[in-house]
Structure formats: structure tokens, C-alpha cells
Amino acid sequence: MKRLISCGFIAVALMRASSASAAGRTSYSPYEQATVEEVLHARHVQVAVAPEGKVVEGIDVVPLEVFEKRDPVPGFVNIFHATSRVYVIERQVLQRPGTPYDQAVVDETERNLRNLAQLSLVICIPVEGSDSSHVRLLVITKDVWSLRLAQDLLAGAYGVEEYSMEASETNLAGTQQVVLGRFVYLPQSYTLGVQFFSPRVEGRWLTLGANANIEINRSSGKPEGSYGSVGASRPLFSTSTAWSAGLSTNWVDDIARRYVNAAVANYDAPATPANDRIPYEYRRRTFVETAAVTRSYGNEHKTDLSFGGEMNLRVYRDAIDLSGYDPVAVQQFNSAVLPVSDTRVGPFLQLRHYENRFASLLDADTLALQENYRLGLDAWARTYPVLRALGSSRDFIGTYAALQYSEQLGDGLVRGSVELMNEFQTGQNQADNRISDASVDASLRIMTPRFGIGRLVFDSSVYNRYRNYSNELNFLGGDTRLRGYPTSFFSGKDFVVANVEYRSRSIEILSCQIGGALFYDVGSAFNGFDHLRPYDSAGFGIRALFPQLDRVVFRVDVGFPLTRPLPSDAPGDPAIPPIAVVFAFRQAFPI
């Protein structure tokens, strides 16, 4: 009885302590509540009531081990990994000693800490100080196992379509620096890579990251390409941060292949009577250099003004000798499949206006852990003139605009968005003055409040690329949209897709969180809405969260295609297995 009374007092005190930011905050999960109770009891402290405005006399960081007493693993196992050092957590705390307690600043601290991949559970609580006018901030974090072997597998009836494995140390010497080695298997190639990331450089608000990967052809055993990136940035780490800047370099030099049923897809030209079976692959070389500076204004309503420049080089060509194929088929293949080579160099100016309020939800994209979602208006406007005088292959003025609005729906969420892109090309001749690329993308996400033992998640998107000079294509099917069909089975410049998924609440089994899912997917990718023919699939899945390893769910989805596509929708590869199984991390369509 005494323990029940203690739990009730803690719960009430926590709700009262966070009343200043009650809008958007949900109650703690049983897993989180048990953690709070244990830490408060161990430290002999109580939650402060009405802490807002009281002087913060100190910050107490409690980094929990990966495996605690409640976990079915011996405690000595913890010696084989690094726990985040106290100063590493403490330097992320925006609330400073000697200042008045501000729940909004504490909430922002929680969001920043939850963005760190090394932490699964993050809770910040005001506790009673030395007298009635003082409080202390208790920061509870739980590390995930830093020595990791992460794996993703996408397989169907015809074999393995993709397998990836990353061996990493995500908390080097307790500093949350990441080093990893990468292996990616595809039916025609495999990739070996390395990566480094530092969220803070010598304690400064400066992030640094680099990765490099080499792709090797499985048949020849020789390298056939590479890709990677290098970047450094000073982020907008708090509401009061005025300036940020970033510099990045990205490159890709490889063979792009479309895989269907664990093999390279084939292209069959409509203009030729025979099945041409041209392999769906091409050589791509891209190089992108970007530099940007941002000035941020406001508090509750934020406005960010960014300016910078970008150099974007794109080269696409046939990957193999196509002289043995019908010239008409080759011409159609190049026209339908190859993106258009382009060189873009120019400045850009961007304006973003958004609200600085958030919802804290449970059992949304993860299980039993708080998740933060931005609410209200989020609007973007960007213009980017591309100029031959700077080395571009053509002159055009690009514009991008996006509008998103999100609102809490009980302990659920509703979010709608629309994006518009236009690139107006200019030239010496009147015929050259035209819209070369343009698209519109509208989406709607509804995450119902939790009812009974779960919630429904509805997500839909309509994308129309009504000008397509660049010859960009979209693909559907596989581990995300249209589960049950082979990966990238449907292709086209346009797509329509909708997903409905029932996600159960989690139950705790041996300190791990387990949930289930039922789903129905419908949609298609196509060229022009007069060719729209929707296809659907259904299935079930299992979700698991291991707080000792990650805050991202592991999922297994079993999908069944309900509609058999016409050969014209998948030329060259119309075969569809009756079932598809996916093993992966993250939800199929995270928000």
C-alpha cells in the first residue's frame, strides 16, 4: 500500500511540476514511470511542486547503465561498453544553475538529448532544492549498448534483395562520438564503408561527420563505384541561438540498378515487338557542394533566414554496351530511364517561419518512450537562380515552397502538408523560356488517440511531377509503401499512396517492449494520371523495442499482394511472389 501511495504521489507531482508546459505533454509510460520512481527513491529526493521561476541551484545527471537490475542480463556485462560521461550529458543541458527554472527550456533540453542516438530514455525532472525558493534539475538518461551490430534484411520468395550490416561503437570513450564499419549486400554488388561522427567538437556546438564507401561488383570482384560525404555545421541548438552555419560535400560515383525479385529489372521498349530485356542500370556521377548561413529570429514564433550557395554536378550514361540491342529500344530506354545530366551552380535564399511548440507522444513511431513532434505552422520559401555565368549548363530560376500544419489530437496527431517546386528556364530564344521541372506533393497523416490497446495511423501522399526535364522517377513496393510487392516494383514520375496501420500498445517482456501491427497499403507509381491503376496489399507485423540497444523499433512485416499488376505496369518483370517478409529498423512510414 505504501508503495502504491508513493507511485500516486510521484505521478501527481510530475503532472503538477510540468503544468507550465502541459500543452503537448503526455503522461509517462509504465516503463518511464518505473524509472523515475526508482531514481527518486535511490537519491532520496522528491519532485518539486510548482517549480517555475524558482532558482536552479544545481544540475544532477543520472546516466543509467544499459542493463539495470530489472533487466534479465547480469550487471557485469556493462563493463564491455562505454556509458556516456556526465559532462557529455551536462553540456547539452540548456537550463543553467543560478537561473530561474523555465519548463520551456527544460523541454528543449529533453528534445536535444533525444536526438542523440546513444540515448534511449531521456527524462528531465525538477526536484526540491535546499529551500522553498530553490530547485534542482534531475536529468535521467539511459544509454544504449554502444558496441553494436545493426542489421537490415529485405527478402522475398526469390531471394535476398538487400542486406546491410553496420558494426559500430556509438559512444567512443563515453563521448558519444561514433565510428562504424558498413557492409551492404545487393544482388549484383556489395559495399564496404566507414563512418565517423562527432556531435560536439572539443565541447563546442560544432558537429563533424564523414563517411566513405566503396562498391564492388560481385561477378568481377572489382570496384565499380564509391559514395560518401564530409560535413561540418554549427546547429540552431536552442531557441535563443541566433546564428548557424554549415558546409558539406557529397559524392556518388557508381552504377544505379533497379532490383525486382532479387535481380536486376529489365526494360521492354513499347515500340518494339520483342521483349528487349535491357538491364535497368546506368552509371551515375554526382557531386554536391553546399555552404549556408542562417540567422534565426523570434521565440514562440520563429523565423529563419538562410543564404548560401550550391554546386551540383550530375552526369548519367549507359553502364554497359547496348550496341547489341535494337537501336529503337535503346533510344526509348535512355529516354525513359536515364536522368538528364546537368550542372547547377548558384546562390540560394531561403525563409522559414514556424511555431516553437511541441507534442510529446507515446507509442507513435517508437514504443514506450517519449517522442517529440512540432506543432502548428511550418512554412518554407526558397529561391535559387542557376547561372551559366557561374559554370552551369543552363540558366533557370528555381522556386520551392512548402506549407505544413500539425495539431495534437488527444494523445495523437494530425498533420497536413503541401510542397511546390518550379524551375523556370530562360534562354536567348523564346522557345527556351519555359518551365522545365515542376512538381506538387500533398500529404496527410492522422495518428488517432490511443484507444483500447492501440491506435490507428493513416498516411497518404499524392505526388505529381507535371514537368520533368530531369527525367526523375519514383519507385514503390517493398519495405515501406506497398508492402507485399517486390522492392521498386512500380515506377513512374508520379505516384499516389495511402497506408492504414493499426499499432498496438506495447507490453513489457523481460524489460523489452513488444507490439503488433496490422496494415493495408494501396497506391501506385505511374507516368501521367491517365495511367493510374491502384494496387493494394495487406499484412501483419511485429514491433520490438530494446531500450538497451536503441530507441528505434525493430520490425518484421509480412505482406500479401491483393491485386495482380498488368504486364504494362511492370514491363519485363511481371512475376509477383505470393508473400513478402521484411526485417528492418524503423516504422514502414515514419512521420
With beta carbons less than 8 A apart as the criterion, state whether 272 and 326 touch: yes
How far is C-alpha 298 from the geometric centre of its chain's CA atoms? 27
- Do 206 and 233 form a contact (C-beta atoms < 8 A)? yes
Q: Give the integer Cα–Cα distance in Å for 155 and 259.
A: 12
| Nearest-angstrom CA–CA distance, 443 and 459 | 7
- The number of beta carbons lying within 10 Å of the beta carbon of residue 76 is 8
Instruction: Pinpoint the alpha helices (H) of 341-398.
Output: none
What is the pTM (predicted TM-score) of this model? 0.79
pLDDT at site 11: 43
How far apart, in whole angstroms, are the C-alpha atoms of residue 489 and residue 110? 41
Name 327's Cβ contacts closer than 8 Å, sequence gap at least 6.
none
Q: Is 575 exposed, middle or buried (0-12, 13-18, 19+ CB in 10 A)?
A: exposed
pLDDT for the residue 369: 83
DSSP 505: P
What backbone torsions phi and psi does residue 39 show, to the nearest 5 degrees? -70, -45
CA distances in angstroms from 462 to 30, 84, 263, 497, listed in the order given: 38, 43, 29, 7
List the chain pLDDT tens, one digit each, 591 residues.
Answer: 444 334 444 444 444 444 434 344 557 888 888 889 999 999 999 999 899 999 999 999 998 888 777 777 777 777 777 788 888 898 889 999 999 999 989 999 998 898 887 888 899 999 999 999 999 999 999 888 777 777 777 776 778 888 898 888 888 888 888 999 999 999 999 999 999 999 888 888 899 999 999 999 999 999 999 999 999 999 998 888 999 999 999 999 999 999 888 889 899 888 888 888 899 999 999 999 999 999 999 988 999 999 999 999 999 999 999 998 999 999 999 999 999 999 999 999 999 999 999 998 888 888 888 888 999 999 999 999 999 999 999 999 999 999 999 999 999 999 999 999 999 998 777 667 889 999 999 999 999 999 888 999 999 999 999 999 999 999 998 877 898 888 888 899 999 999 999 999 888 888 789 999 999 999 999 999 999 999 999 999 999 988 777 778 889 999 999 987 765 555 444 568 888 888 888 888 887
CA distance 437 to 424: 8
Q: Say what the pLDDT of residue 566 is.
A: 62
- pLDDT for 431: 65
| pLDDT of amino acid 7 | 46
